[in-house]
Structure 1
């Protein structure tokens, strides 16, 4: 019979308040998932049709799983390995699987955050280049190393450093994005961008691949199945209402993702560019944006600084998941765990960094970074999130989860258990049916 999770009483740092927790978790979720990944995923997958599928995935499936992961971390007061390990004796192995996903994602996330740092430096030098020129040398490598070392230095200080940065920088970033959306609305590409967002080719919703990308982006952008929410939830204050906090974070991340699209696509269409430019989309478009508007040089300084801050906040969240696992499972101090994790990232992330240098490191013609993002940031995290929710909902009694949700409202508890228990069954059935249809078609 499996062990039931119990709340462990131990001295553990906490966020200072529910608003501080929300700001920090929003910082972890907002980052590159919205400003970098959402526009390029939308650009590659049909605009409006992708947006519809993404919103359905977010509201119906992802929100309940998000609440469940935060509540599970709050219950166990530990990281992903510790939390899954308390479910049953095999849960610990699954926890390490989640940590490995985060290792893969964080390794290239640090590289992209390095790009934002490089663009920030270039903005202050008033010499912002489009991405092919920026990556002509070894900028990707040097800035990746700088970001990783800086993250290690901050994480040695603990959660308070993350909290302070998130509360100050996120609101300023939002104001800058809104201003850029206003500038975008004055361009010739605004009407084309409106069509791209709101004219839906409904036939595309029959495309299985579109739904896979939409679910992958929804899971990715809210950090589902990666251990982030479990780890952040383990530091949650006692009086936090988990559903309310998650709704605020999800609403914030969706709003910023949509604003990022409205910020980029009108300019992109005005410049006569195509929306399916891939992972470089933002870094190809934005330098041209700032070169084309009044005061663009100064706005570039502010925007790229804040872009870096948002990306860096997400890096800190990913690294915190890994540090918590190393510290708890290998009995390391926080400082020792930070050093080991940063060394691992420097080794693994180098492959992604080198894919955007003169070496052009690739797999079958595709940059290593893009390959890892497509695999780890897509189907793998969908499987991780669904299976993790199933483990929680089949092995933890509903009343136990209810005790740490921080609300008397049973509506979310019901939705969480409905999704957690039966979604895996539906997914398996769907895969069998689609597989059979493909075999019959052949």
Structure 2
């Protein structure tokens, strides 16, 4: 039996997992979600969601990947033959996300360059949509390729594929050992500068001031679970794949707590930095803080450049650091997302890693060219809405129900994790996965389906204002349906990797033991 790749150190795995969890959403989604759902009071349901959904699912996925030593499709296949399709759905969701996520990183690279001369001028919104993206007038139009997006997009894919070519230890682990410390240092500098700006304290007061009138609103609690769920990279194959590279002696439970709290810590840091800057903007414009709060593309590429224009000093440096932080956060996530389908192809067809990277990563890079066209932003928003809202959430619900209630693997996973972890899992973990998480996620899915039946496409990132509902509806569902279909078709070819596991000792590969 061939030896499966392994992380060089425990710290390498944790940095990679944290790097996967920390992405663009930590910076441009969390601060706005927290503010709109009770400010400081939001942190109570947020922490509750972390402890009853985020970390329990992380432990479950870490255990699944470690127990069955495979990518998501192989792990599900080894768990039950009919469950393989769920693994492929997760992989296909990751594949689709990678095609447009790379484009947002390309924008960040471009804006890192623009910040050197503040090239966006005074009309930052007009610059983004007109001068830079050259946005088509009507959703659905493709238009021509936009060179300013295409060239940095090529750089993104060349860098990511080069890292993946080098493998788990010399590629992914080494890259995260560089990117994550650099990201934290850069963002700390941003926060220190932000909190010294005039009006920063008013922004922080707005961010942390608790509004307990919203505390008992179901929407606030659903928002907390949604934020935890979407920010931790759970339920679309990443954490299963990463944990399959862990050595035999691995503290799975402790790792999950470190990754979960590490991600939340960075979200809190991002909230401080963003709201300190928004407080400065509100003070400068002499308007209430709620008039300048926004999320998503509008915050990163319209509001922040406008704010930077008003800085009393070091405008160019602050802009460079901010967009570099977006680039690094995006790269660490894109690497993990792409690894899911590279690992899936290696396991299913028993091909070399080089071939899997060339085929899987190359195909994603080619498809991503669609989002580098004049109509790219429209397609990006549509695909992002349906894949992120329906794809990830629905697969997460199916995964939990399948493992807990249909295959009844919770006790087996508990014994496996307890056997190698310092922290033993108790009734908290069992109740969270068997009762709390399915109920909350089921309610989330009900709300999403209701929202789409009514064709109301409000979203925390605010990216869909002014769109034709039909464009979002039909293009989004086409992508979602295609991902489900391809996921099913991937189960049809025969496995060229041994999928029969008789005993744990037969498939846990530990080079040091040999």
TM category (shorter chain) comes to: 0.7 to 0.9
Q: Aligned residue for 1:4?
A: none
TM superposition shift of 1:231: 0.4
Aligned with residue 282 of structure 1, among 300, 319, 341: 300
TM superposition shift of 1:432: 11
Task: Flag the 1:104–1:214 CA change in 2: closer, same or farther, 3 A.
Answer: farther
Aligned with residue 422 of structure 1, among 435, 453, 456: 435
| Residue 158, structure 1, aligned to residue 167, structure 2 | yes
Aligned with residue 89 of structure 2, among 97, 105, 117: 97
SS at match of 1:86: helix
- Aligned pairs for 1:28-427 (under 5 A) are 28-42=20-34, 47-48=39-40, 50-123=42-115, 127=119, 130=124, 132-134=126-128, 135-137=132-134, 138=146, 139-159=148-168, 160-272=170-282, 274-291=292-309, 292-354=311-373, 359-360=374-375, 367-394=378-405, 395=407, 396=409, 398-404=411-417, 406-410=420-424, 412-423=425-436, 426-427=439-440
TM superposition shift of 1:219: 1.3
Task: Flag the 1:32–1:377 CA change in 2: closer, same or farther, 3 A.
Answer: same
TM superposition shift of 1:413: 4.9
Q: Whole-Å Cα distance in 2 between the matches of residues 89 and 170 of structure 1?
A: 37
TM superposition shift of 1:227: 0.7
TM superposition shift of 1:172: 3.0
Per-residue Cα deviation, 1:313-335 (whole angstroms, up to 9, x for no partner)? 11000000011112222333211
SS at match of 1:422: helix
- Structure 2, gaps ≥5 residues long: 135-145, 283-290, 452-514
Is the Cα–Cα contact under 8 Å of residues 397 and 441 in structure 2 kept in the other structure? no
Report the TM-score when normalising by structure 1: 0.84
Q: Whole-Å Cα distance in 2 between the matches of residues 434 and 334 of structure 1?
A: 41
Q: Whole-Å Cα distance in 2 between the matches of residues 43 and 128 of structure 1?
A: 28
TM superposition shift of 1:245: 1.4
Task: Flag the 1:53–1:408 CA change in 2: closer, same or farther, 3 A.
Answer: closer
Task: Flag the 1:381–1:196 CA change in 2: closer, same or farther, 3 A.
Answer: farther
Task: Flag the 1:143–1:39 CA change in 2: closer, same or farther, 3 A.
Answer: farther
Of 211-220 and 120-129, more deviation after overlay is shown by 120-129
Task: Flag the 1:133–1:428 CA change in 2: closer, same or farther, 3 A.
Answer: closer
Q: Whole-Å Cα distance in 2 between the matches of residues 286 and 430 of structure 1?
A: 35
Q: Whole-Å Cα distance in 2 between the matches of residues 430 and 131 of structure 1?
A: 36
TM superposition shift of 1:142: 3.4
Q: Aligned residue for 2:14?
A: 22
Q: Whole-Å Cα distance in 2 between the matches of residues 66 and 348 of structure 1?
A: 30
Aligned length: 420
SS at match of 1:237: coil
- Structure 1, gaps ≥5 residues long: 1-8
Of 310-319 and 398-407, more deviation after overlay is shown by 398-407
TM superposition shift of 1:83: 0.8
Is the Cα–Cα contact under 8 Å of residues 80 and 231 in structure 1 kept in the other structure? yes
Per-residue Cα deviation, 1:108-147 (whole angstroms, up to 9, x for no partner)? 2111111222223334566466465243442334323331
SS at match of 1:90: helix
Q: Whole-Å Cα distance in 2 between the matches of residues 216 and 348 of structure 1?
A: 28
Task: Flag the 1:381–1:413 CA change in 2: closer, same or farther, 3 A.
Answer: farther
**RMSD over equivalenced CA pairs, Å:** 3.1
TM superposition shift of 1:236: 1.2
Q: Whole-Å Cα distance in 2 between the matches of residues 219 and 128 of structure 1?
A: 34
